[in-house]
Amino acid sequence: MTRISLIALGAFAIMAGAICILVLVPQALLSDVQPPPQLAPYTERQLVGRRVYMANGCVYCHSQQVRDPAFTTDVDRGWGSRATVPADYAYDRPHLLGTMRTGPDLINVGQRLPDADWHLIHLYDPRSVVDWSLMPAFPFLFEEKSPNEVRPGDRVVRIPGPRARRGVAVVAKPEAIALVDYLISLKRQYPVADTAAGMRTAFGGRNGAH
Amino acid sequence: MTAPVAGHAPAGEAGTLGRENVRAVAAARGLAPEDLEIRLRADASSALVVLVLFSVAIAWLLIGSIFGDIASLKLHWPDFLTRQGWLTFGRVRTAHLHAVNYGWATAALIGTSVWLLPRLMHNELKAPLVALAGGVLFTLGIAVGIIGVLAGYTDGMEWLEANRYTAGPLLVVGGGLVGLSLFLTVAARRAEHLYVSAWYILGAFIWFPMLYVTGKWPTWTGVESAAANWFFAHNVLGFWLTAMSVGAAYYFIPKVLGRPIYSYQLSVVGFWSLAMFYSLNGMHHLVGGPLPTWMITTSIVASVFMFIPVVATGINLHMTVVGRFGALRYSPTLRFVVLGAIAYTAVSLQGSFTALREVNRVTHFTHWTVAHSHVGGYAFVTFVAFGAMYYIVPRVVGHEWPSARLVRWHFNTVLAGIAIYVISLTWAGVAQGLALLDARLPFQVSVERSVPGLYGRSLGGLILTIGHVIFAWHFWRMIRMPTGAQPTRPPLHEAQPVLYTDEAEAARPRQGAV
């Protein structure tokens, strides 16, 4: 090939075409997706918690999607009662679908594990509650004080078992409380609205089904 | 292609030859003096930019290795370094990804491209200071992005974490300035024919800005952002790192062997079909996910069609080497680049299979994917970059690499390291995936079965880091040597010329130490 314009225009045109097919056309098709009425927008504090989730890279080990039960064991594992659909993510900016399951899926963790105290303990020292866990501990989301420094209003986290450190009061920082608030808000168990089902049909069936 | 160049003893090719010497050297190599002079001028014009970019790249390689090792250790020692937020797994892992892909690989391949293009255009590099400024700004952008990630500022999408308002402008302006210099060089070219390497380099500099803007567009919401995310994250490999690496492989393999590329037609097929099919692959990272089925099916089909560019490019590169494998003993460039090309074929075919739903049910969400990305990012891209540096740096600084032993140690450590890394992590991924697919097994089993492979990955990663330290030390010694100096011992297996013909092979006296 000797013509530079041919290479440049061809390269540009092919990539522009691909952007249309996989980004712009889906964007137009999905613009009708309405948030289901049962799905509440995130609160201010949950959004702060979502940013803590992003900042500490939770997404690199935890997905937030349930796939078709015909194709996967996601539902059998108790990660949700149905596959998630585009409308479930209407308030997510950006998405946190994830590509790794070094840890379990979290899109319904609020349903499965609704106890905020459990989450705080688990964040401070995962192996105090799940001994085989590979999750990093996040002690920097907590303050470690001597018990007589604890002020009223402090969220004290009581670590159970032999891993508890004597003479140390663990107090959750606002980031930890916000993160747990976000985690507990993750529930996508309501029945899918007709619009979402309609979208699926229009797109040729649920993804993953053979 | 111009005529073959002999071996690795450039004898002051960096422009220090006088006119008389040019004639003598050209005659000795069977070149027209004008051709050699064009080449010397091309090399001299890009020398400073290339040297700075390579130095920056190697610094990023060391930084990225440390972050990678820390992240790897944390996956099986989760209580290691947990007190500081900036050292948590999610941040050092991301710092590793940015340091090695956008720091190391990008700077190394831009440096290679900046060196190649003037040679391919039979011209000097135009606006070299613009390219230099671009490289420095780009590097600053990477640094700003990584520091931000470590401090907890992230845009949140994989491969796109660097902040769009602080790091983004530096990356866009920096990359744009390098691209400007390259396009000016092409516009002022003297060569009539555009060699295949130039197609890939030019393509890369057209594609990357389109991809970056698409990925970073600030209004994407919900599953649309997932589509934009994986459109970018998959294509940045295919149209940025792969494009420049394949371009480099197309140059160095025929160059070192002194024989033309196997088939011009196959290189045309390979280039255009790569653009057609690779660009539609991204959604195979979301198989089973909550996106319209047709998008994911499109990507699976396109992934299978990737056989066409991969086989075309593979046949072309491998058939150029077939019958000349003996030359790999003499040229570290050839060793690294040929192995890189083999890894490219392997990783691409693996990728096509992984996109199939039946395979993907096992491998999705597992360490398999991480192993796969290291076959691509390391065994392919990084090996090609090492090979390119072994060829280019002597021609930039005007003398040979000081130590053949360090080259061998570098090669052996990184080959062993990446083999251990990929085998153990692939195995971990399969074990994890099969456990996840069996609903009777609790999640715990998928974690426990992957742990031995995670230890193996740490071992492989640490060996890689040793190799990088050796390479960086050798590079440091190389650039600190006075210009034109020659090592006391002939390096690189006694500096056998790599000009390889059957007659030369038959006539070559057998030597004891090879």
Q: What is the mean pLDDT of residues A140-148?
A: 95
CA nearest to A92 within chain B = B222
Strand order in the sheet with A156-157: A142-145, A169-172, A156-157
* A131 part of contact set with chain B, CB < 8 Å: no
The pLDDT value given to residue B21? 73
Helices B332-355, B404-437: crossing angle, 10 deg rounding: 10
What is the ipTM, given to two decimal places? 0.92
- Is residue B396 a contact partner of residue B50, using CB atoms and an 8 Å limit? yes
- State percent of chain B over pLDDT 70: 90
Chain A interface, mutation test: which of B91, B147, B214, B279, most A Cβ atoms within 10 Å? B279
Quickly state the pLDDT bin for B17 (edges 50, 70, 90).
low
Report pLDDT digits (tens) over A70-87: 889 999 999 999 999 999
Instruction: Please state which of the ranges B7-16, B36-45, B196-205, B242-251 shows the lowest mean pLDDT.
Output: B7-16
Distance CA B174, CA B143 (A): 13
Partner residue opposite B443 with nearest CB, options A71, A77, A94: A77
Residue B442: CA count within 13 A, CB half-sphere: 4
* CA-wise closest residue to A25 among A35, A16, A12: A16
B13 has pLDDT over 80:
no
Distance from CA of B3 to the nearest CA of A (A): 20
Q: What is the mean pLDDT of residues A39-62?
A: 98
The pLDDT value given to residue B23? 78
Burial bucket for residue B171 (CB in 10 Å: 0-12, 13-18, 19+) = buried
Say if the Cβ atoms of A57 and B90 lie within 8 Å: yes
Distance from CA of B361 to the nearest CA of A (A): 7
Torsion of CA A66, A72, A74, A76, to 10 degrees: 140
* B510 part of contact set with chain A, CB < 8 Å: no
Say if the Cβ atoms of B157 and A95 lie within 8 Å: yes
CA nearest to A34 within chain B = B222
Using the CB atoms, write b or e for B43-54: b if 16+ within 10 Å. Answer: bbbbbebbbbbb
Averaged confidence pLDDT in chain A: 90
The pLDDT value given to residue B512? 40
The pLDDT value given to residue B487? 56
* CA-wise closest residue to A1 among B272, B260, B341: B272
- Is residue B317 a contact partner of residue B250, using CB atoms and an 8 Å limit? yes
Distance CA B327, CA B496 (A): 10
Counted across chains A and B, CB pairs separated by less than 8 A come out at: 245
* CA-wise closest residue to B44 among B145, B143, B119: B119
Say if the Cβ atoms of B279 and A18 lie within 8 Å: yes
Sequence-distant (≥ 6) Cβ neighbours of residue A66 within 8 angstroms:
A74, A75, A79, A80, A82, A83, A84, A105, A107, A108, A188
Partner residue opposite B280 with nearest CB, options A16, A22, A90: A22
Q: What is the mean pLDDT of residues B285-311?
A: 95
* A35 part of contact set with chain B, CB < 8 Å: no
B14 has pLDDT over 50:
no
* A185 part of contact set with chain B, CB < 8 Å: no
Quickly state the pLDDT bin for B399 (edges 50, 70, 90).
confident
Averaged confidence pLDDT in chain B: 90
Which residue is associated with the tokens 């009539």?
B192
The pLDDT value given to residue B486? 64
Q: What is the mean pLDDT of residues B212-220?
A: 94
* B23 part of contact set with chain A, CB < 8 Å: no
Say if the Cβ atoms of B78 and A58 lie within 8 Å: no
CA nearest to A131 within chain B = B444
Say if the Cβ atoms of A29 and B84 lie within 8 Å: no
The pLDDT value given to residue B35? 85
- Measured between beta carbons, which residues in chain A are less than 8 angstroms from residue B290? 65, 83-86, 88-89, 97, 207
Report pLDDT digits (tens) over B101-126: 999 999 999 999 999 999 999 999 99
Torsion of CA A118, A119, A120, A126, to 10 degrees: 90
The pLDDT value given to residue B412? 97
The pLDDT value given to residue A181? 98
Distance CA B348, CA B284 (A): 13
Q: Which bin fits A42, alpha (ψ -120 to 50), beta or left (φ > 0)?
A: beta
B501 has pLDDT over 50:
no
B295 has pLDDT over 70:
yes
Q: What's the predicted TM-score (pTM) here? A: 0.92
Q: Which bin fits B510, alpha (ψ -120 to 50), beta or left (φ > 0)?
A: beta
Distance CA B214, CA B157 (A): 13
Q: Which bin fits B18, alpha (ψ -120 to 50), beta or left (φ > 0)?
A: beta
Report pLDDT digits (tens) over B250-272: 999 999 998 999 999 999 999 99
Structural domains in chain B, CATH included, are: 19-498 (1.20.210.10)
Distance CA B69, CA B67 (A): 6
Say if the Cβ atoms of A23 and B206 lie within 8 Å: no
Report pLDDT digits (tens) over A104-127: 999 999 999 999 999 999 999 999
The pLDDT value given to residue A3? 83
The pLDDT value given to residue B485? 67
Distance CA B142, CA B216 (A): 15
Within the 54-113 window of chain A, which residues sit less than 8 Å (CB to CB) from chain B?
A: 54-61, 63, 65, 67-68, 71-73, 76-77, 83-86, 88-102, 104
- Is residue B240 a contact partner of residue B274, using CB atoms and an 8 Å limit? no
Say if the Cβ atoms of A65 and B447 lie within 8 Å: no
Quickly state the pLDDT bin for B506 (edges 50, 70, 90).
low
Any alpha helices (H) in B356-442, and if so which ranges? 357-363, 367-374, 383-397, 404-437
Quickly state the pLDDT bin for B228 (edges 50, 70, 90).
very high
Three-class DSSP category at B190? coil
- Measured between beta carbons, which residues in chain B are less than 8 angstroms from residue A73? 436-439
Q: How does DSSP classify residue B365?
A: B
Three-class DSSP category at A143? strand
A195 has pLDDT over 50:
no
Distance CA A188, CA A80 (A): 8
Q: What is the mean pLDDT of residues A189-197?
A: 67
Q: What is the mean pLDDT of residues B442-456?
A: 97
Q: Which bin fits B3, alpha (ψ -120 to 50), beta or left (φ > 0)?
A: beta
* CA-wise closest residue to B343 among B391, B387, B383: B383
Say if the Cβ atoms of A15 and B153 lie within 8 Å: no
- State percent of chain A over pLDDT 90: 80
